């Protein structure tokens, strides 16, 4: 058996057969609240590089990379080979036994994290990573009070959705934790839109100080360095360094949710927190999405003192599974050896300029913003600040018809187009995608 099967043959739809039959079956068994893109949803059958194919054999340039999960490239031979070889040996053995790929990946991530005396706990998702971070912070600080950013998103479990600032993601609004919401994630709304960076940071710090004046014993602040589902919005560099000075005075931990921003995606930095360098490394860092290149790898990094503060036997049945660790190791090696962070900076810099040019003169575009290969295009009803989710859906459909897949924000940010291709995007692909986007925006 060859280890590298290559792209499967394209499936041509039989006369009379239709993707909607799969859609009907989907609707019959999958909950209504599981989001699906497009009026006629796409069945993706395979991918290669920065492209994916649907069941009709149509090829798309993938500007959303799964959901930032395909970090390097689709069907990257190095990852496929590592996974196939590991599957041939053993897929799963559980953390009850020594596991070489898990230790090796933990060593590499601990070294990259910037956190001293780091310990790494692997999970199978970003939600579970954040859940674990919250467990650690509340246990370490003996408090169930959490600071979270407005407009944030941290996952879909009871504790993570309960603290998520993007309330439209929370089905009940109930939470096992007491959460206070801090300003700072979004700066182009309301009075803040007119502020300079310095004045914005000062205002957010004053807001944080004010909140802390009314409460005691907060466990941690959890924040995404660039808000992902929140529409790829970043605060000015240095906001979290300014926050850190306040948090340190109160002994409050800082959890950086790097689920979307890690591994060089933001171009200038390997981690999103490094844009706030003077803050120093976070007390707890969470990751997921891209590290497994689509395999379910998430995790938490914290210094030993925090990680080991819980005195309980605990395992994650699938966290650290050898097959996912093999994918993570091969993917991370490729990323570092090919300097994909540098590529994200260079090609992302070009792409954001091309997207700005494509959006120039389109009345519905309020803002184009970007860091590396994390680019947001915010759409509003022309001449107003009112979000326009229908316009965003129309652009998604028009881009899809022209062979380009893009994403959009979640909750009340569905009017923001999100562009986050695999980090190996080439200049030619960036140009091609921007040209399609220009046509799609022009069709509004
Ligand atoms: N944290 C952030 C910043 C995210 O963007 C997400 C998912 O989009 C999560 C956590 C949850 O990750 P997962 O969907 O893997 O549970």
CATH assignment at residue 121: 3.40.640.10
| CA 349 to ligand 1 centroid distance, Å | 25
Query: Which range is least confidently modeled, 83-97, 117-131, 180-194?
Result: 180-194
Q: Which residues of 122-154 are buried (b: 16+ CB within 10 A; e: fewer)?
A: bbbbbbbbbbbbbbbbbebbebbbbbbbbbbbb
Mean pLDDT value of segment 201-222: 95
Query: Is 71 a residue whose pLDDT tops 70?
Result: yes
- Counted domains in the chain: 2
> Does 56 lie in the same domain as 178?
no
Per-residue pLDDT, 3: 41
Q: Give the CA distances from residue 352 to residues 22, 254, 357, 374, in Å, rounded to whole numbers and listed in that order.
A: 36, 30, 9, 9
Mean pLDDT estimate for the chain: 93
Q: How far is the CA of 256 from the centre of ligand 1 (A)?
A: 12
Pair 427, 389 in one domain: yes
- Give residue 11's pLDDT band: very low, low, confident or very high (50, 70, 90): low
Q: Residue 126: CB within 6 Å of ligand 1? A: yes
66 C-alpha to ligand 1 centroid (Å): 13
CA 19 to ligand 1 centroid distance, Å: 28
Q: Does the structure show a pLDDT above 90 at 122?
A: yes
The whole-number pLDDT of residue 176 equals 92
Nearest ligand 1 atom to alpha carbon 157:
16
pLDDT at position 309 over 60: yes
Q: Ligand 1: which atom is nearest the Cα of residue 229? A: 5
Phi, psi of 394 (to 5 degrees): -65, -40
- 388 lies in a domain? yes
Is 347 in the same domain as 334?
no
Ligand 1 centroid – CA 292 distance (Å): 14
Domain that holds residue 351: 27-75+339-442
* 31 occurs within a structural domain: yes
Tell me which of 35, 65, 126 to substitute to probe ligand 1's pocket, judged by most ligand atoms within 8 Å of the beta carbon.
126
Pocket test for ligand 1, best of 228, 230, 416 (most atoms within 8 A of CB): 228
Instruction: Write the DSSP symbol of residue 290.
Output: G
- The residue out of 338, 370, 405 marking a domain boundary is 338
49 CB near ligand 1 (under 6 Å): no
Residues 136 and 51 grouped into a single domain: no
Ligand 1 near 255 CB (within 6 A) = no
Q: Tell me: the pLDDT tens digits for 164-180?
A: 998 777 878 889 999 99
- Rounded-to-integer distance, Cα 207 and Cα 191, Å: 14
13 in any annotated domain: no
CA atoms of 101 and 387, how far apart (whole Å): 46
- pLDDT for 169 equals 78
ipTM over 0.90: yes
Quickly count helices (H) and strands (E) in the chain.
13, 15
409, 231 Cβ separation under 8 angstroms: yes
> Residue 184 Cα, ligand 1 centroid: separation in angstroms?
19
- Among 124, 258, 259, the mutation site with the greatest number of ligand 1 atoms within 8 A of its Cβ is 259
Q: What is the pLDDT of residue 80?
A: 98
In-domain check, residue 155: yes
DSSP classification of residue 277: G
Out of 282, 307, 338, a domain closes at 338
State if residue 125 touches ligand 1 by the CB under 6 angstroms criterion: yes
Same-domain pairing of 332 and 366: no
Q: Kindly tell me if the per-residue pLDDT of 9 is higher than 50.
A: no
Residues 262 and 387 in one domain: no
CATH for 405: 3.90.1150.10
Q: In angstroms, what is the span from residue 331 Cα to ligand 1's centroid?
A: 19
Q: End of a domain among 338, 373, 389?
A: 338
The answer to whether residue 147 is domain-embedded is yes
- The answer to whether residue 362 sits within a structural domain is yes
Does residue 226 share a domain with residue 89?
A: yes
Both 115 and 59 in a single domain? Answer: no
Q: Which residue has the tokens 């260079």?
A: 346
Asked if residue 130 has its Cβ within 6 Å of ligand 1, the reply is yes
Does the CB atom of residue 60 touch ligand 1 within 6 A?
A: no
Would the pLDDT of 198 be above 70? yes
- 372 and 324 in one domain? no
Residue with the smallest CA separation from ligand 1 atom 7 is 155
For the CA of 128, the closest atom of ligand 1 is 16
Whether residue 415 is found in the same domain as residue 269: no
Question: Is 317 in the same domain as 344?
Answer: no
Q: How far is the CA of 126 from the centre of ligand 1 (A)?
A: 5
Question: In this structure, is residue 433 part of a structural domain?
Answer: yes
Q: Which residues contact 221 (CB under 8 A, 6 or more apart)?
A: 146, 147, 148, 182, 243, 247, 252, 253, 254, 255
Residue 22 inside a domain? The answer is: no
Substitution site in 222, 288, 410 for ligand 1 pocket (most atoms within 8 Å of beta carbon): 288
Beta strands in 280-426 (DSSP E): 284-287, 298-303, 365-371, 374-379, 404-405, 407-408, 416-419
Q: Is residue 171 domain-shared with residue 291, that is, in the same domain? A: yes
Establish whether residue 228 lines the binding site of ligand 1, counting it when its CB lies within 6 angstroms of any ligand atom. Answer: yes
| Pick from 365, 301, 328, 341: nearest CA to 422 | 341
Q: Is 265 in the pocket of ligand 1 (CB under 6 A)?
A: no
């Amino acid at each position: 058996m060859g280890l590298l099967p290559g792209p499967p043959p394209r499936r041509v739809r039989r006369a009379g057969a239709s993707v909607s039959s799969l859609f009907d079956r989907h609707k019959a068994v999958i909950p209504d609240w599981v989001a699906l893109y497009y009026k006629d949803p796409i069945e993706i059958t395979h991918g290669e590089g920065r492209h994916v194919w649907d069941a009709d054999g149509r090829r798309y340039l993938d500007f959303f990379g799964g959901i930032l999960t395909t970090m390097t490239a689709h069907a990257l031979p190095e990852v496929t080979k590592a996974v196939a070889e590991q599957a041939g040996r053993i897929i799963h053995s559980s953390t009850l036994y020594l596991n070489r790929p898990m230790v090796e990946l933990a060593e590499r991530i601990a070294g990259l994290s910037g956190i001293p005396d780091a310990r790494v706990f692997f999970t199978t998702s970003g939600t579970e990573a954040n859940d674990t971070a919250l467990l650690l912070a509340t246990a370490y600080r003996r408090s169930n009070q959490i600071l979270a950013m407005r407009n944030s998103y941290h996952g879909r479990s009871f504790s993570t959705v309960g603290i998520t600032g993007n309330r439209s993601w929370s089905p009940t609004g109930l939470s096992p934790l007491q959460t206070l919401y801090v300003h700072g994630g979004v700066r182009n709304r309301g009075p803040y839109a007119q502020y300079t960076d310095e004045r914005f940071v000062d205002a957010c710090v004053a807001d944080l100080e004010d909140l802390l004046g009314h409460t005691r014993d907060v466990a941690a602040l959890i924040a995404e360095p660039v808000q992902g589902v929140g529409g790829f919005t970043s605060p000015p560099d240095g906001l979290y360094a300014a926050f850190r000075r306040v948090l340190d005075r109160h002994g409050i931990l800082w959890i950086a949710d790097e689920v979307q921003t890690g591994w060089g995606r933001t171009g200038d930095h390997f981690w999103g927190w490094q844009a706030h360098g003077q803050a120093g490394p976070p007390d707890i860092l969470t990751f997921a999405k891209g590290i497994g290149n689509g395999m379910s790898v998430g995790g938490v990094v914290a210094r030993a003192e925090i990680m080991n503060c819980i005195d309980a036997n605990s395992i994650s049945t699938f966290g650290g599974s050898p097959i996912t660790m093999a994918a993570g190791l091969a993917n991370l090696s490729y990323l570092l050896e090919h300097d994909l962070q540098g590529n994200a900076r260079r090609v992302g810099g070009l792409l954001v300029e091309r997207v700005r040019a494509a959006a120039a003169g389109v009345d519905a575009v309020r803002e184009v913003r970007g860091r590396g290969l994390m680019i947001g295009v915010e759409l509003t009803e022309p001449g107003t600040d009112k979000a326009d989710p229908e316009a965003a859906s129309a652009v998604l459909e028009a881009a899809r018809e022209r062979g380009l897949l893009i994403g959009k924000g979640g909750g009340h940010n569905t009017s923001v187009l999100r562009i986050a291709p695999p980090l190996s995007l080439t200049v030619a692909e960036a140009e091609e995608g921007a040209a399609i986007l220009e046509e799609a925006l022009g069709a509004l």
